[in-house]
Structure 1
Amino acid sequence: MRLLHDPVEVRRGETEGPEAFLWRGRLWKVRAVVAHWVETAPWWQPTESEDPPGPGSDLLLERELWRVEAGRMETSGVFDLSFDWTDGRWQLVGCAD
């Protein structure tokens, strides 16, 4: 899987997960959600605002990850989409196409 940090626009439907995403000007339709999990920030690493981290570190910094199978026309692949709760942004963080 290639690691990426590309911003994407995600469209959610009636379900909680992504239904489609716009990446590099192309619309990818989600065919299946393969996995879904939440990661917290590593408490042992300093953040931009705190150096070094102390006992009051915010362990609630989370990002939600969705591994999806998505396609457009005859092309398909598996993608890892990340939603960062701190800034409300989506990123494409992995791709196996």
Structure 2
Amino acid sequence: MRRYDDPVEVRRGMVRGAQGPVEGPEQFLWRGRLWKVADVLSRWVETGPWWQSAEADAARGTDEGRRAGEATTVIPAPDPATDPLAEREVWRVEAAAGRNATREGRGVFDLVFDWADGTWLLARCVD
């Protein structure tokens, strides 16, 4: 599976899923090419890397800098990539290029919806 971090435009609609029809990504535009979703294979929610947060360090007792009496630094605004509360919804879909694509032209794609900023990314694919 190849990794990407490419923005995509997604049109939502009713698509076929393992448990029956579900509202999700129906089509997406990636690198100027239209892909039509044939099946939703899976979907899940990912959180930010909470284990790297200052709160997790404090819970483990590894916040050495603060306990040694060092000056406290200003904490920047949360970064969605490292915010432990940030959630991203991942949709693993099988899709084919074009409107009338055949089964041979299908690939598996992980489309990610970022709740923090309302954008979609293509994260991984096997085509």
Same fold (TM over 0.5): yes
The answer to whether structure 1 residue 6 and structure 2 residue 6 are counterparts is yes
**CA–CA distance in structure 2, aligned partners of residues 45 and 86 of structure 1:** 19
How many residues of Structure 1 are paired with residues of Structure 2 in the alignment? 90
Structure with more strand by fraction: 1
Q: 1:66 aligns with which of 91, 103, 124?
A: 91
Query: Which residue pairs with 2:26 in the alignment?
Result: 19
Which moved further from structure 2: 36-45 or 79-88?
36-45
**CA–CA distance in structure 2, aligned partners of residues 24 and 59 of structure 1:** 30
Which moved further from structure 2: 85-94 or 69-78?
69-78
Structure 1, unaligned stretches of length 5 or more? 51-57
Question: Which has the greater radius of gyration?
Answer: 2
**CA–CA distance in structure 1, aligned partners of residues 90 and 76 of structure 2:** 22
Deviation at 1:13, TM superposition (A): 1.3
**CA–CA distance in structure 2, aligned partners of residues 45 and 65 of structure 1:** 21
Q: 2:47 aligns with which of 22, 40, 44?
A: 40
Structure with more helix by fraction: 2
Give the CA RMSD over aligned residues: 1.9
Q: 1:28 aligns with which of 27, 35, 38?
A: 35
Deviation at 1:79, TM superposition (A): 0.2
Give aligned-pair identity as a percent: 63
Deviation at 1:59, TM superposition (A): 4.0
Residues 39-76 of structure 1: CA deviation (Å, up to 9, x unaligned): 111112259636xxxxxxx6431000000000023421
Taking structure 1 as the reference length, the TM-score comes to 0.83
Structure 2, unaligned stretches of length 5 or more? 15-21, 54-74
